Amino acid sequence: MRKSLRLLALLAVMALFAAACSSDDASDSADATEPAAAETTQAASDATEVMLTQSDCDNTYHVITHGDSGTFWSVVEVAVRDAAEATGCEVVYFGANNDAQAQSQAIEGAIADGSAGIAISLADPTGLEAAARAVVAAGIPLYTLNSGVNQYKDLGGVTHIGQTEVVAGNGAGERFNALGASHVLCARQEQSNVGLDERCQGLAETFNGQVTSEFIGLDATPDEQQATIAALLTADSSIDGVLGTGPNVPLRALDAASDAGRTLIIGGFDLSGDLISAIEAGDIAFTVDQQQYLQGYLPVILMHLQATNQNTAGGGLPILTGPGFVTPDNAAEVAALVDAGTR
């Protein structure tokens, strides 16, 4: 399945290159909902793989994530493409759409292909542990990005590029304290992503009031998200704040609050044009910015430096890309960069 995906993606990219003669072409990717265990085969076919090919380098690097083609991961993919152009190397990007089996198969394929460096996200550490250890056993440098800050050392990774999710959640909790909330719903858009659990954990550590953590549906099902949040608000009138653990959930919370006739303090994680607009308008209080462009760009650069110049970075510690915060005070400056696809 992976080879078929790779061939299809490569043919698509070659067609784009022939039409435009540019390495800035957008990649083909597929939107799909998170599969149940019985739907793993179908989920694998919904994954995204893009071959980003340059001609000035003999090495091939792989960036293999659990991501989809949505708002967040599209920026990561842009960054990977930019890093491929900067290094002049071939880089394969694969987004598994939250399917650990498909992600593991892609990692195994990268090992078989003789990759010079493999960067992976570890949203499901248990599901990916065997494949991650196989990278190191094969003598290939392993990097983690986005999720995996607590696991990369044990797995033998060189470093992690991302934010410490608990610390990011801590910062969100402090902001809800300052804004006067008393009961915050931590609304998660994925069930098996340990990073989202850690965001809610961090919120609970610093928030002075009550925290309720709930899975409210996938980003691919926005109506379900909105309806689930509205139902939770109706069932518990004490909820006066919502922290969405992604960039789309805060917007669904805003609509759900309107449906339920409630006024809420709403915060989020990550960036999108619509979210920034809502922050500028004062409808959403803040979002946590983990700068995902860096999470796509830096692993490729670091893998290339290690392969060609024996450089390593981090000193055994993670390389943090966040958290930062976007509020009404700085939303306008960030908005233009979001529109450009780099934030």
Q: Which CATH number is 88's domain given?
A: 3.40.50.2300
Of 172, 171, 182, 326, nearest to 241 (Cα)? 182
- Residue 38 reports pLDDT greater than 50: no
Asked if the structure places residue 55 within a domain, the reply is yes
CA-nearest of 125, 115, 107, 30 to 64 is 107
pLDDT tens, position by position, 112-170:
999 999 999 999 999 999 999 999 999 999 999 999 999 999 999 999 999 999 999 99
**pLDDT band with cut points at 50, 70 and 90 for residue 52:** low
User: What are phi and psi for residue 104, nearest 5 degrees?
Assistant: -60, -40
Examine the domain organization and report whether 143 and 230 are in the same domain.
no
Predicted TM-score (pTM) above 0.85: no
Weakest mean pLDDT among 27-36, 66-75, 175-184: 27-36
The answer to whether residues 113 and 156 belong to one domain is yes
Inside any domain, residue 280: yes
Q: Per the domain annotation, does 267 fall within a domain?
A: yes
CB 196 within 8 A of CB 188: yes
User: Domains in the chain: how many in total?
Assistant: 2
Asked if the structure places residue 272 within a domain, the reply is yes
By residue range, what is the domain housing residue 11?
A: 2-163+291-312
Token pair in block for residue 271:
């960036």
Residues 135, 136, 139, 144, Cα dihedral to 10°? 70
If asked whether residues 19 and 116 sit together in one domain, one would say yes
Q: Which amino acid is at 226?
A: Q
46 compared with 238, residue with greater pLDDT = 238
Residue 268 one-letter amino acid: G
Based on the fold, state whether residues 87 and 200 are members of the same structural domain.
Answer: no
206 within domain boundaries: yes
> Do 186 and 130 share a domain, yes or no?
no
Mean model confidence pLDDT for the chain: 88
pLDDT at 50: 72
Q: Let me know: does 289 contact 129? Beta carbons within 8 Å.
A: no
The answer to whether position 212 is within a domain reads yes
Whether residues 137 and 213 share a domain: the answer is: no
* Residues 231/217, Cβ–Cβ less than 8 Å: no
Q: Are residues 44 and 186 in the same domain?
A: no
- 153 and 28 in a common domain: yes
In a domain, 321, yes or no: no
Do residues 176 and 159 share a domain?
no
Mean pLDDT of 73-78: 95
Looking at the fold, whether 153 and 265 belong to one and the same domain comes out as no
pLDDT band for 55, please (50, 70, 90 cuts).
Answer: low
Q: Answer yes or no: do 148 and 23 share one domain.
A: yes
Q: β-strands 210-215, 241-244: how paired?
A: unpaired
Looking at the fold, whether 284 and 297 belong to one and the same domain comes out as no
What pairs with residue 93 in β-bridges? Answer: 50, 63
Query: Is 278 a domain residue?
Result: yes
Q: State the number of CA atoms in the 13 A half-sphere of 337 facing the CB.
A: 14
Q: Percent of the chain beyond pLDDT 90?
A: 79
